[in-house]
Amino acid sequence: MSTGVKAVRRMFDAFASGDVSGAEEYIHDDYLNPDSLERSTARGPEGFAGNVKWLHNAFSDIKFSELEISEGGGFVLARVIMSGQHTGDLVGFPATGRAFYAEQLHLCRILEGKIAQHRDWRDDLGVLRQLGLPRLGD
């Protein structure tokens, strides 16, 4: 297994567990996920740790099931199912306690064996529907 695939799998382990200790081993100092820029401009392991914290503030029982992972041209592509329970604030929506699952696609640029850039495409609308959000008229 390549170092890029190992790095991406460690990233998903951290997203699931909330444990970012050792993130500097698989997250490049230039790491950036543009989706997180509205929350923070931090980069590298610090920026990654902020993303993980944000995720765990909104959800618990987080799991990632790998459907497919491939590497080529300096990138790792991973297709996963994320599942969990909505137990905290999610972009202004209070916890519903509901469970959810959604397919996601992640594209990570690997530099020096670490994740330098991370783009993701998620079924956010599907998740909101499963959570019963937004609740219109509340």
**8 Å CB contact between 35 and 42:** no
> What pLDDT does 138 receive?
55
Which tens digits make up the pLDDT trace of 76-123?
999 999 999 999 999 899 999 999 999 999 999 999 999 999 999 999
Q: How confident is the model at residue 137 (pLDDT cuts 50, 70, 90)?
A: low
**Cα separation of 30 and 41, whole Å?**
12
What is the distance, to the nearest Å, from the Cα of residue 30 to the centroid of all Cα atoms in its chain? 17
Mean pLDDT of 5-24: 98
More confident residue, 35 or 77: 77
For residue 21, pLDDT over 80 is answered with yes
What residue spans define the domains of the chain? Answer: 3-130
Residue range 39-88, pLDDT digits in tens: 888 899 999 999 999 999 999 999 999 999 999 999 999 999 999 999 99
Q: For domain 3-130, give its CATH number from 3.30.450.40, 3.10.450.50, 2.40.50.100, 1.20.1250.20.
A: 3.10.450.50
Helix and strand totals (H; E) in the chain: 3, 5
